[in-house]
Amino acid sequence: MPGTPNSLYPTTKPGRLAGKRACITGGSRGIGLAIAEMFRGEGADVVTCGRGDRPKTLSEDIGWIKVDLRRPEGVLGFRDDIMALIGAPDILVNNAGVQAEKTVVTSSYDDWDAVVGLNAKSVFACCRAILPALIGRGGGSIVNIGSISGLQPDPSMALYNASKAFVHGLTRSIALDHGRDGIRCNTICPGWIETGMADAAFARAMDPDRARTDALNRHPIGRFGTPEDVAGAALWLASDEAAFVTGQMLIVDGGLTAATPVRPDLF
């Protein structure tokens, strides 16, 4: 429990995750950073990671591990560092990911290693490494960050689309195989979220401003999402409020995929 010698925190704030221990991959910015901060704000002991040095924007009471999750030894080191900092976790959030704006023909094997290695292989590896600790705690919650692109592919994003579809399938398999171990596993499928990845996607369009405006007009809610929108969904899935929810793909996209391809602003 928080407050034990291997904990980062002497006390735990009251909140929806009070008494929980959470590890989150890819917490240096964007969605991962928002999840780490929200979980800590709700009382969890939190450790996150990235390939670079600790970001200055990360709260001081959140643990940081510098690691490359594409390497098997990196994943095992990440697991061991988590255990040393906060003990066996209750929550794993697989958020780390990258994209490559290419088709199958224009993608290289290096692109495969970069995109699939992080978006798919590292998710499998982290689940495989940390599941025994979750089971040892009597159960826990795994929240994977997928994408609507794994359901309805984006053009010229072949490896990214495929890697996210893998995450969706892995999520259902874990939910099926480990439900009786007390494990819940779900995926969040974000749509257009205001992050660097979204900016890069619009930048590759022939007319970036027109592409952004058109995408915005396809959202019934009238805006793009924020990292905090995704973090709120992750918080719910990680909490006991979602105790009967597992094996699900929770779409967080402002209604984008609920609409037909016809632009609603023209009617």
pLDDT in tens, 77-131: 999 999 999 999 999 999 999 999 899 999 999 999 999 999 999 999 999 999 9
pLDDT for 262 equals 61
Is 160 a catalytic site residue? yes
For residue 1, the model assigns a pLDDT of 35
- Chain segment 157-177, per-residue pLDDT in tens: 999 999 999 999 999 999 999
Number of other residues whose CB lies within 10 A of the CB of residue 56: 5
Q: What is the mean pLDDT of the chain?
A: 91
The pTM score is 0.91
pLDDT (average), residues 136-143: 97
Q: Point out the catalytic residue in the list 39, 78, 160, 224.
A: 160
**Mean pLDDT throughout 122-141?**
97
* The pLDDT of residue 263: 53
pLDDT grade, residue 201 (50/70/90)? confident
Among 18-32, 170-184, 249-263, the minimum mean pLDDT is found in 249-263
Burial class for 243, CB neighbours closer than 10 Å (0-12, 13-18, 19+): exposed
Specify the CATH architecture of the domain 21-266: 3-Layer(aba) Sandwich (3.40)
**Which of 44-48, 91-95, 146-150, 192-196 comes out lowest in average pLDDT?**
192-196
- In the predicted model, what is the mean pLDDT of residues 249-260? 92
Q: Given a cut of 90, is residue 208 above it in pLDDT?
A: no
